Amino acid sequence: MMSSTAPAQAPSTEATRSRATIPARLASYGTLLGLVALIILFSVLRPQVFLTPLNFTNILEQIAILAIVTAVQTVVMVVGDFDLSVGALASLVGVITAQLLVAGTDPAAAVAAGLLTGLLAGAVNGALVSYLNLSAFIATLATMTSFTGLALLLSNGSTVFGLPDSFVWLGQGRLGPVPVPVVIALALVLLIWFVLSKTVLGRAWYAVGGNAEAARLSGVNVRLVRFSAFLVSGTGAALAGIVLTARLASGHPTAADALMLSSIAAVFLGITLSRAGQPTIGGTAVGLGIMGVLSNGLNIMQVNSYVQQVLTGLIIVLAVSLSRLSRRRR
């Protein structure tokens, strides 16, 4: 009919131009390149220590618990919110589980109780955000504060020791050569990947994060969808708290607090890889990789841990601004 308007085809194909696209491409993959660069850097600097299967397992083990929190933080950030309470909640669940165990509860029941606590806490966050219309920032900042307070109250501010071996296995055991926390984290990451990319729920999460009004007018139950994301993050935070408690063989009221900022940073690093500006599990994995390799490499190099923190902050700023630059001029 109209020669120039073949449907779903390039308006004109005769012209090709690849100038500006190569640097732009590189910049948008900057975060991935950054990970590769870090690996090369540490491999060259400390080949005998860094580039070994043992160290690789080490890195995975070090980031396993962070990976659990980050995977669920990804879900909340897909929906366009944050969950600032994940760290505090993980600590709280750690304390509760540890106390139940010390009181002689069966480990399976204690773990179930811990997960249930997380689910309930997630429901509170979700209700505040999606049914009472509080901003996620305020709501989870408030619950974060309360969760920390609760954890301190319950534990009297001290560490809970004396956990049974069968429970400690969750944090310190191995399945063949693979540490149990790594298995748990991998399983969760795979599950979240599946839900995000293959299911109707995942599509609804992305749609609500992309344009809540358009999602609503498409028949999506926006409130329920946001609520469900917080259920996931609450439960995931609880899982992280349980594994951490097992790994440390003790429950401490602030043990997991630092996970929150690191998880958000890792998701942000991942977002730099995404075209739509929304998180993906793949991107999150790269973000986690950067965090893990960086801290492991710097440890191997025996860099002062304060300096490590400064460097981590700088790297995050660098990666995020690189990807911004690539987006600016289109």
Partner 1 sequence: MNSPAQRTGAASEGRRAPVLATRALSKDYGPVRVLSGVSLEFHAGEIHALLGENGAGKSTLIKMLAGVTAPSEGEILVDGAARRLRSVRDGQSHGIVALPQELSLVPTLGAAENIFLGLRRPGSRLLVDRRALDRDATALLERLGQRIPLDVPAGELSAVQQTMIALARALARDARVLILDEPTAALTEREAEQLFAVLRTLREAGTAIVYVSHRLEEVFALADTATVLLGGRHVWTRPAAQTSADDAVAAMIGRPPGQIYPQRETGEPALQRAGGPAALEVRDLRGHTLAGVSLQVPPGRVLGIGGLAGSGRSELLALIAGAQRPRGGAVLLGGQDITARRLAGRMRAGIVLVPEERRSQGLVMTHSVQDNIALANLGRFSRLGIASRSRERAAALRRAESLRIRATSIRQPVEELSGGNQQKVVLAKYLERSPRVLLLDEPTRGIDVGTKAEIYQLVRRLAAEGVAVLVVSSEIPELLGVADEIAVLHEGRLAGLVPAATATEESVLHLCYRKSA
Interface ranges with partner 1 (CB under 8 A)? 1-5, 7-18, 21, 198-204, 206-207, 210-211, 213-221, 275-278, 329-330
Say how many residues make up the chain.
Answer: 330
330 binds ligand ATP (CB under 6 A): yes
Comparison of 198 and 324: residue with beta carbon closer to partner 1:
198
End-to-end CA distance of the chain: 32
Those residues whose C-beta lies under 8 Å from the C-beta of residue 172, and which sit 6 or more positions away, are 179, 180, 246, 247, 249
Least distance in angstroms from the C-beta of 136 to ligand ATP: 30
Q: How many CB atoms lie within 10 A of CB 200?
A: 9
Comparison of 9 and 304: residue with beta carbon closer to partner 1:
9
C-alpha distances in angstroms, 47 versus 33, 37, 114?
A: 20, 14, 42
Q: How far apart are CA 143 and CA 125, in angstroms?
A: 7
Per partner kind, with CB cut-offs from 5 to 8 A, the member of ligand ATP, partner 1, none near residue 223 is none
329 binds ligand ATP (CB under 6 A): no
Q: Which residue is nearest to ligand ATP (CB)?
A: 11
Site string for ligand ATP, 177-216 (x = CB under 6 A): ----------------------------------------
Q: How far apart are CA 48 and CA 56, in angstroms?
A: 12
Least distance in angstroms from the C-beta of 9 to partner 1: 7
Per partner kind, with CB cut-offs from 5 to 8 A, the member of ligand ATP, partner 1, none near residue 304 is none
Which amino acid makes up residue 88? A
